[in-house]
Chains A and B, each alone.
Chain A
Amino acid sequence: MTRTALKLLCIIALLLPAGNIFAQYGYHFGRNKIQYEDFDWQVMKTEHFDIYFYPEMLELAERGAFFAEEAYTELQHKFSFSLNNRVPLIFYSSNLHFKQTNVTSGFIPDGVGGFFEFLKGRVVIPANGNLHRFRRVIRHEMVHVFTYNKLTRVMRDHRRPTDRFLPLWFTEGLAEYWSGKPDDQHEMVIRDALFSNYLVPLESMYRIQGSYVMYKQGEAINRFFSEVYGEEKILEIIDNVWKDRDFRVVLEVTLQDEFEVISQKWLVWLKEQYYPEFQQIELPSIIAGGLSTEGFSAKPNFHRFADGTQKVYFVGNKSGLGNVYEVEVDSDFRPLGEARVLIHGEQSSEFEAFHLFESRISVSKQGLLVFVTKSGGQDVVHVFDLVEDRMEKTYRFDDLVAIYSPSWSPDSKQITFTAITRNGFTDLYLFSRETAELQQLTSDIYDDRDPSWSPDGERIAFSSDRTSLGVDGHYNIFTYDVKDGNIRYVTFGEQTDLSPTWSPSGKQLAYISTRRDSTGRYTAQNIWSVDMSHEVTLPDVSATSTSEPSPQVPTWRRTTRLTSLSSASMDPYWADDDHIIFTSFEGISFSIRQISKVDSLLKAPKQVVTANLSGIGRPWTYERLEIGVDAELAAYKPKYNLDIAQGIVSQNSVLGTTGGAVLAFSDMLGDDYLYLTLLNTGTGSRDFLRDLSLQLSRFKLNNRANIGYGIYRYSGRRYDVTDPDAPIAFPVFFETVYGGYGLVSYPLSKFSRVELMTSLNWTRKDIQLRRGDREALLLSNSVALVRDNALYWMNGPISGWRGSLSAGYTSDVLYSNVSYFSVMLDVRKYFRIANNVTFASWGMARINEGREARLFVLGGSWDLRGFNWFDVRGQKMWFTSHELRFPLINAPTILLPILAPFGVAHLRGTLFFDAAHAWNKDYDELRPEIRSGETVGSAGFGLRVNLFGAFVMRWDMGYRYRKGFTERDKIFRQFFFGWDF
């Protein structure tokens, strides 16, 4: 966001080149996207790709190169198409590095697997420790690349405009479908949609636009097209897009069925597959007691205090922000109240993100809670003392980028966890709190995750794709022997076994498992348990994968399925002998639940399967394209390519016609931007050169400190209400400015930054209505401290706060006519009264003091309502605004479906009160023409509605007050667009 803010700041700076650009809008809010790493980018050139990577992740990049070429070959068949341009693939070794990419200016949340960007055709993908997943994401994004190119070609072939896109559900569904077999996540969502009865029909897919459910339903629809109508029909759909703007018509033409029939057939097709299971399934909400069933909750753990108090801890997001919660439970694990926030997250640099669905938490017998958060450019491990209710220690490991799922040793002296280094591979680590030593337990390409220490302290159970079946994305359970360092199979088979947890006695190991059934689909993710009570002779697997496995010895373990859930369970934790707490997925909601009488379930399980370990094969690996053999290596040299070339024509009754163009260039990694703007306000060819304005700016974003600089010439008529030289009634004059500027934005954390700005302008104004020519050489410097941790929702911020304190000085270094300083303070606080109700308070004070200081302005829908734009002006001012924001209709489209195509969402109401006072020298010096010297304000009611998720339509009505609120004007109404403050 700092980049966006920076660019915005620069653009505004250049639109107001004369004098103190700092005077009116010298600060901008927003969080900071920080470049923590100094990536040494290199380029690997394969047959079809330019792969951008950094040396630490060379092995991953070579494997990714193989995956990309492999995907290219397969997609050539599916699309019957070749790409005629090389595809830029930008790899990051981990999600935390990926979050720093400048290819997109937006923030990348956890869980985003990669993206395809249309402008330069770039594909950006992090590996994050799971090669199978990495391979699948590369395929997914390559499907997008092929789809986009194919679609563009079809439209151009038929001379149709290329602005016609396929529906998102189709393209994302296709990318999922053609990137591999439906995985366990697909089954989880589709089963839930069917058994919780929220499956969205084809005609209403817009309702789940952009959601994870849309991806998975889209995948199911594409699979339905393929299996019922034929695989080739999918390509035919793309081939037929030119025929009609309405995608329903395209489907009808291609599939030769009415749209409603297609939709109905899809529902029937799905139900026929899943509904036979109805008799066997158990809904979590019926069979498992709920401990936290609101919002998203996951990764439960448990502690029994010395006084007998029992509490369940978990990570959750109930209000838009991730936190650690606690809920007290009785002996039967029934909640004794509402869950409360133990550790607030996502609003401070210490706890930026909890990796809600990726990282487990652990509580030691002594009551120490260990958990992981993102803090700066890496993950850190926190230890919180639950008994003392205080943060005890935070551990930061320089070599570890990402850390997941810490687990205590029984004596609370050691912590084991999964971590990713800069090479992008996941391994197990052991940290001794006594010696502060970090020991790497595994070192290979396999994804080792979810470690759990046995009660006797001798073994660490974990899940890994190091199983010989891992090449197909399967995971089995293993143990790491703490004494001899050997790894041993616990389960084996074509399944996904995750999240092991030991029973208190250490005789059982519960875990989550899903496996493909006879139909080839994954089953529900159920809780299983494996008998660990007896020693078995198991083959050892080296922790480094460099040596061969030990000789095969046939052996087995008994595994039992404890649940028959409808969709998915996750993160089981064996709280006591008779209770397992876990995360359940039901009704698109993740809840914390518990199953009791575990002993009975073990005695009468739903299913018993013997894990046959005799078939264990050899370690697997994926191929790679080696640099120097299959690919060439080149250093990355930034090269500017045109991003946007846009003409500008504007017509203004005051300033006349303005014409021009903007050209934007950037490099492949988005680290370096060049902007060239040309404008002309001349009315004839004679005035062309006189009225020519141009600016050239450069922004460099590849370091933590973002810098921007540029030069400009501005010449033309200006309308400037803040200029003290301009006539109050009609502040228009001709001005020529030559200048340059420089700015630095240094983020202190994700939430705060320091901004420095300087500019030097030579200006000549021709003010015909007043004093004639006026020249100045203005030097302006400013510094600002900005903080923003506000949480945004559809119409604006709903919690947190943001503020800015800035100071600056402007002087005429040539003629000494201008000399003034500026101080501004702006604080906005959002009190979340209820989940959907926010009380927002805004306070602002601004001072320009000195010779020929500029005026500040207020008025309009965005600040002082009831007054026209720039109605209130003064060199000093205070302003306050307070709003109560509340919901009216959450989904207007349901009441009026005709609104759906307009993306109308979240009709909200607001009660507001605004007050302001502007003045120049004397606080009470009344100047009616600029409404200074009196306290003015307004109060009333407003409506807000979001359009397309991008615009907020604002409508306000109320009374306007003047003269210290002693006089009330008639009712005003205002309509405009813009977010809430």
Chain B
Amino acid sequence: MGLLKMSQKLNISRFLLFVLFWTGCQTIQFERPNIVTDSDWLVDGYTQNRSRSTSDGLALPLEVAWEYNAAAAFGPGSPLILNGVVLIGTNKGEVHSIELATGRKRGFKNFGDGIEAPLAISEGFMYVASAWGKRVLTAFDLKKATFLWKNGGTPIESGFVVTDGLIIAADVQGMVHAFDQKTGEEQWKIELGDRVSVQSSLLLIQNKGVFVVDDAGRASLLNILDGSVLWSRQLSGPVYEGASSIGSSIAVSTTRGTVEVLDSDDGSAKWIYHSTNSSVRFGATAISENLVVVGATDGVVRAFLVENGVEKWSTQLPDVVVAAPLIEKNVVYVGSLGRKLYAFDLQDGTTRWETTLKGRIKSAMAISEGGLLVLSEPRNVTYFKTAVGLKDASN
């Protein structure tokens, strides 16, 4: 009997330990989420203008440092990085936190149904939008690991902007909302049009406003304070992929074979590139001081001069490119639906390095601490670092 009781106690304690471990995993918590460094990616694309260009440099070639199974696929945005921890929202509705150095799981938390929109972190809070379900926008206290507020409403699939104490997000029914960052109360809202949806992430145009473009191709710059339209312009086609901005230029791609660079002052087109095939759908853009880089469903990666739209180089790939490229100092990284990750020379488009992943690359990438974070199908987070002893002399 004594043995039996001991055995029972042992099993109970094992069970309790398992429960504790499990519930411990089932959360995301940071000691000091308020303290951020330059290597942290608090929003999709590093900055809220989502230029997807960085001055960080990686020495090529790269090799896999670690790989993590996130249990589901990802939206089009990039992973976030905070205090050496990677944060990723999945299509299953979970947010996973992974140690950047080791790839070890720190925890995960379920936020409801599928997450398509990239996450955002601000002042120790993480904001998560859901593409389906009752709770569509949630503020999560990373320090306390508790919910700050949850909002219902229409699902959100595009990235939002966090600025001036506001969360500004556009839902799939074309309504742009501004919520108080602390309370979740709606401060203002504006309807973009009848039966339109916003799929492309919002951009914060410094000192000017919030840029939003809907799936009918209507691009607008909104006043952050009240949502009033500062300017609005009809583009040459519907927009479904992420735009990017730098300085006074906003690069937008359409599903009808065009790429446009707009002047953020008045929305006028600085230039429009027309593909010879209007059925080409362009992917998300990346923009640096000089170049706009964009992939497309024709498998061509094109680099245009920001200034005048002249095509500086182009490279034909065998597969579709939808994910946003990532521009670093000398190289632009491009992921394809053919499971390939490429590094092209930023100046002439020559292939500097390439590798094959387990699945299609449909999400933007992030660079931090000398490594490249790539999200791919079916549910993989891969961290690449410079291959030891194999550094590219030209880099």
Q: Mark A146-161, 1 if CB is under 8 A from B, else 0.
A: 0000000100111100
Q: Give chain B's interface secondary structure class.
A: loop
In the assembled complex, A229 has its CB within 8 A of some CB on chain B: yes
> B195 contacts A229, CB within 8 Å?
yes
> B320 contacts A232, CB within 8 Å?
no
> B281 contacts A82, CB within 8 Å?
no
Choose, from B33-41, B142-150, B263-271, B336-344, the stretch at the interface.
Answer: B336-344
CA A257 to CA B173, docked complex, whole Å: 11
> B338 contacts A84, CB within 8 Å?
yes
In the assembled complex, B19 has its CB within 8 A of some CB on chain A: no
Chain B residues with Cβ under 8 A from A81's Cβ? 320, 337
Q: Mark B164-208, 1 if CB is under 8 A from A, else 0.
A: 000000001100000000000000000000010100000000000
Smallest CB-CB separation from A242: which chain B residue? B114
> A158 contacts B72, CB within 8 Å?
yes
Chain B residues with Cβ under 8 A from A153's Cβ? 360, 377
Smallest CB-CB separation from B173: which chain A residue? A256
Q: Mark B233-262, 1 if CB is under 8 A from A, else 0.
A: 000001010000000000000010000000
> A232 contacts B298, CB within 8 Å?
no
CA A73 to CA B298, docked complex, whole Å: 7
Say yes or no: A230-B216 contact (C-beta < 8 A), given A76-B320, A77-B281, A84-B360.
yes
In the assembled complex, A117 has its CB within 8 A of some CB on chain B: no
In the assembled complex, B92 has its CB within 8 A of some CB on chain A: yes
CA A230 to CA B216, docked complex, whole Å: 8
In the assembled complex, B136 has its CB within 8 A of some CB on chain A: no
> B279 contacts A82, CB within 8 Å?
no
Chain B contact residues (Cβ within 8 angstroms of A): what range? 35 or more
CB of A346 to closest CB in B, whole Å: 45
CA A258 to CA B377, docked complex, whole Å: 34
> A80 contacts B72, CB within 8 Å?
no
> B114 contacts A232, CB within 8 Å?
no
> A80 contacts B114, CB within 8 Å?
no
CB of A143 to closest CB in B, whole Å: 14
Chain B residues with Cβ under 8 A from A74's Cβ? 279
Smallest CB-CB separation from A74: which chain B residue? B279
Q: Mark B64-97, 1 if CB is under 8 A from A, else 0.
A: 0000000111000000000000000001100000
> A156 contacts B318, CB within 8 Å?
no
Contact of A82 among B73, B91, B195, B360 (CB under 8 A): B360
Contact of A157 among B73, B172, B197 (CB under 8 A): B73
> B72 contacts A82, CB within 8 Å?
no
Chain A residues with Cβ under 8 A from B215's Cβ? 230, 232
Say yes or no: A82-B377 contact (C-beta < 8 A), given A77-B280, A256-B195.
no
In the assembled complex, A243 has its CB within 8 A of some CB on chain B: yes
> A80 contacts B281, CB within 8 Å?
yes
| CB-CB contacts below 8 Å: A644-687 with B | none
In the assembled complex, A47 has its CB within 8 A of some CB on chain B: yes
In the assembled complex, A78 has its CB within 8 A of some CB on chain B: yes
In the assembled complex, B319 has its CB within 8 A of some CB on chain A: yes
Chain A residues with Cβ under 8 A from B359's Cβ? 84
> A82 contacts B197, CB within 8 Å?
no
Chain B residues with Cβ under 8 A from A157's Cβ? 72-73, 91, 377-378
CB of B108 to closest CB in A, whole Å: 13
CA A82 to CA B91, docked complex, whole Å: 20
Chain A residues with Cβ under 8 A from B173's Cβ? 256
> A76 contacts B297, CB within 8 Å?
yes
| CB-CB contacts below 8 Å: B367-395 with A | 377-378
| CB-CB contacts below 8 Å: B290-340 with A | 297-299, 318-320, 322, 336-339
> A159 contacts B336, CB within 8 Å?
no
Q: Which of A77, A229, A242 has the most CB of B within 10 A?
A: A77
Q: Mark B141-165, 1 if CB is under 8 A from A, else 0.
A: 0000000000000000000000000
CB of A224 to closest CB in B, whole Å: 14
Q: Mark A250-262, 1 if CB is under 8 A from B, else 0.
A: 0001011100000
Say yes or no: A232-B240 contact (C-beta < 8 A), given A153-B377, A256-B195, A256-B197.
yes
> A78 contacts B279, CB within 8 Å?
yes
> A159 contacts B92, CB within 8 Å?
yes
Smallest CB-CB separation from B359: which chain A residue? A84
Chain A residues with Cβ under 8 A from B277's Cβ? 77
Contact of B322 among A80, A156, A257 (CB under 8 A): A80
Say yes or no: A156-B73 contact (C-beta < 8 A), given A76-B297, A81-B337.
yes
Q: Which of A73, A80, A231, A236 has the most CB of B within 10 A?
A: A80
Say yes or no: A82-B71 contact (C-beta < 8 A), given A158-B91, A158-B92, A242-B114.
no
Say yes or no: A156-B378 contact (C-beta < 8 A), given A74-B279, A80-B322, A257-B195.
yes
In the assembled complex, B231 has its CB within 8 A of some CB on chain A: no
> A82 contacts B336, CB within 8 Å?
yes
Chain B residues with Cβ under 8 A from A230's Cβ? 215-216, 238
Q: Could you count the A-B residue pairs with CB atoms below 8 Å apart for me: how many are there?
A: 73
CB of A232 to closest CB in B, whole Å: 5
> A77 contacts B377, CB within 8 Å?
no
In the assembled complex, B353 has its CB within 8 A of some CB on chain A: no
CB of A450 to closest CB in B, whole Å: 36
| CB-CB contacts below 8 Å: A74-111 with B | 74, 76-78, 80-82, 84
Q: Mark A812-844, 1 if CB is under 8 A from B, else 0.
A: 000000000000000000000000000000000
> B114 contacts A158, CB within 8 Å?
yes
> A84 contacts B339, CB within 8 Å?
yes
CB of B148 to closest CB in A, whole Å: 26
In the assembled complex, B132 has its CB within 8 A of some CB on chain A: yes
Say yes or no: A47-B339 contact (C-beta < 8 A), given A159-B91, A232-B255.
no
> B71 contacts A159, CB within 8 Å?
yes
> A232 contacts B91, CB within 8 Å?
no
Chain A residues with Cβ under 8 A from B114's Cβ? 158, 242-243
Chain B residues with Cβ under 8 A from A229's Cβ? 195
| CB-CB contacts below 8 Å: A53-88 with B | 73-74, 76-78, 80-82, 84
Chain B residues with Cβ under 8 A from A159's Cβ? 71-72, 91-92
Chain A residues with Cβ under 8 A from B338's Cβ? 82, 84
Q: Which of B113, B297, B319, B322 has the most CB of A within 10 A?
A: B297
Say yes or no: A77-B72 contact (C-beta < 8 A), given A230-B215, A232-B255.
no
Smallest CB-CB separation from B199: which chain A residue? A236
CA A159 to CA B336, docked complex, whole Å: 22
Chain B residues with Cβ under 8 A from A236's Cβ? 197
CA A231 to CA B338, docked complex, whole Å: 24
CA A964 to CA B378, docked complex, whole Å: 70
Chain B residues with Cβ under 8 A from A78's Cβ? 279
Q: Mark A206-249, 1 if CB is under 8 A from B, else 0.
A: 00000000000000000000000111100010000011000000
CA A73 to CA B296, docked complex, whole Å: 12
Chain A residues with Cβ under 8 A from B216's Cβ? 230
CA A253 to CA B136, docked complex, whole Å: 14
CA A236 to CA B91, docked complex, whole Å: 16
| CB-CB contacts below 8 Å: A778-812 with B | none
CB of A269 to closest CB in B, whole Å: 15
Q: Which of A81, A82, A156 has the most CB of B within 10 A?
A: A82
CB of B129 to closest CB in A, whole Å: 15
> B195 contacts A255, CB within 8 Å?
yes
CA A596 to CA B296, docked complex, whole Å: 60
Chain A residues with Cβ under 8 A from B360's Cβ? 82, 84, 153
Q: Which B residues are within 8 Å of any A CB, using their own CB?
A: 71-73, 91-92, 113-114, 131-132, 172-173, 195, 197, 215-216, 238, 240, 255, 277, 279-281, 297-299, 318-320, 322, 336-339, 359-360, 377-378
**Extra A-B contacts (10), CB below 8 Å, given A76-B320, A236-B197, A243-B131:** A77-B297, A84-B359, A156-B73, A156-B378, A157-B73, A157-B91, A158-B73, A158-B91, A158-B114, A242-B114
Could you list 21 A-B pairs, sorted by A, with CB under 8 Å? Answer: A74-B279, A76-B297, A76-B299, A76-B320, A77-B298, A80-B320, A81-B337, A82-B320, A82-B337, A84-B337, A153-B377, A158-B114, A159-B72, A159-B91, A229-B195, A232-B240, A242-B91, A243-B114, A243-B131, A255-B195, A257-B195
Closest 9 CB pairs of A and B: A157-B73, A82-B337, A82-B319, A77-B297, A158-B91, A256-B195, A77-B279, A82-B320, A159-B92
